[in-house]
Chains A and B, each alone.
Chain A
Amino acid sequence: MIAGAVLEIAAVALVVLGVAFLLAGTIGLVRFPDVYARAHAASKCDSVGAGSVLLGVALHDGVAFGDLKLVLLALLVVVSGPTTAHALARAALRSGRRPSTRDPAGPA
């Protein structure tokens, strides 16, 4: 009984954490100044955001064999998301995009 409650709390906490990361990453994607900062923000969505939502869903309603699929999905997201961000940033650098050095506090 207690173990079930602990699992449930952990599941909800993971989902909430994931949603918070997704929200922050999405705001970053819209608001950040250049492709590098945006790729940085968006990759947080993928790996931590989607990853912990999936793990939370796996823990929800007890742990069953079928939850292995969700863990595999989370693994896939954790492997492929950062790789995509890396490839994007590398392509941007190779094609000559300069990182933004504008200081938001100073004169634009």
Chain B
Amino acid sequence: MKTFALVLVLVVAATMVIGIAGLPPHGDPDGPIHTHVGARYLERGVAETGVRNLVTAVLLVYRGFDTFLEVVVIFTALVAVLALPSATRRPPPARGESTAAPRRGSDDAVPVSPVVFFVVRLLAPFIAVFALASLYRGHVTPGGGFQSAAIIGAMMIALGLVFGREHAARLVPHGAKAWLQALGPLAFAIIAFVGWRLTGAFLGFPADEAAHALREAMVVVLEVAIAVGGAVILAQLFMALDAPS
């Protein structure tokens, strides 16, 4: 068995090394990634999209379909988790290893550590500001909707751990919960149809100079929807995995 594993590792490693040897040299200006659409993105990306961060420009404008479906994938993941029976029922306690100390009722009965409570309360405002800055600056610097969603979602999870589930659930208005969870796909669909009306292409962005403000507004709507919708989905995923019976 060990010999087989060793041979397998060597064969896979050799295949990968051969594959890497076939790649163009790093930074080669004639490499495939620089000779197709990349040059056009770099040359005209800012003028065509109005987004000064070219990563965001590619993500939301040039490759909008890709991102649309990414948002749908995240939403589908939440739907799948909520549909699982184990997401709403507590699994039986694990057997085996250390059962030395008696478990004190359910985990929710364990008081929150004062250290963690203090540090989360101390850091939460900074995390929120960082998320907003990352969203707002995503136009110019690395950042944007997805990053912001991850940061806000993490903050909501941390607050939920410290203040309790009920308290954290109040961060998301109950009536709007379903809409917020679907915000990413919904916003993409609306923007896609708006683009269709304007340009004749589904998810098209008006390219002429006069439509600059409109184009920018479309991108901003998408960014905010990705951030808010993604954050709600992330927090909801965590709460669902951890929900009491």
A interface residues (Cβ-Cβ under 8 A, vs B)? 76, 79-80, 83, 86-87, 90, 93-98
A86 touches B101 (CB 8 A): no
Q: Is B174 an interface residue (CB 8 A)?
A: no
Q: Complex Cα distance A83/B124, Å?
A: 14
B113 touches A90 (CB 8 A): yes
Mask: chain B, 55-80; 1 = CB below 8 Å from A; 0 = not:
00000000000000000000000000
B123 touches A79 (CB 8 A): yes
Given contacts A79-B122, A79-B123, A80-B123, A96 and B99 within 8 Å (CB-CB) = yes
List of B residues within 8 angstroms of A95 by Cβ: 98, 101, 103
A98 touches B119 (CB 8 A): no
List of A residues within 8 angstroms of B126 by Cβ: 76
B103 touches A87 (CB 8 A): no
- Our pick among A76, A79, A96 for the contact of B98 (Cβ within 8 Å) is A96
B110 touches A94 (CB 8 A): yes
B98 touches A87 (CB 8 A): no
CB distance from B97 to the nearest CB of A (A): 8
Q: Is B115 an interface residue (CB 8 A)?
A: yes
B101 touches A87 (CB 8 A): no
Q: Complex Cα distance A93/B99, Å?
A: 11
B103 touches A96 (CB 8 A): yes
For B102, the closest partner residue in chain A by CB is A96
B116 touches A98 (CB 8 A): no
Excluding A76-B126, A95-B98, 20 further A-B contacts by CB distance (< 8 Å) are: A76-B123, A80-B119, A83-B115, A83-B119, A86-B115, A87-B113, A87-B116, A90-B113, A93-B101, A94-B101, A94-B104, A95-B103, A96-B98, A96-B99, A96-B100, A96-B101, A96-B102, A96-B103, A97-B98, A97-B100
List of B residues within 8 angstroms of A90 by Cβ: 113
Q: Complex Cα distance A95/B102, Å?
A: 8
- Complex interface residues of chain B between 101 and 117 (CB less than 8 A to chain A): 101-104, 110, 113, 115-116
List of B residues within 8 angstroms of A87 by Cβ: 113, 115-116
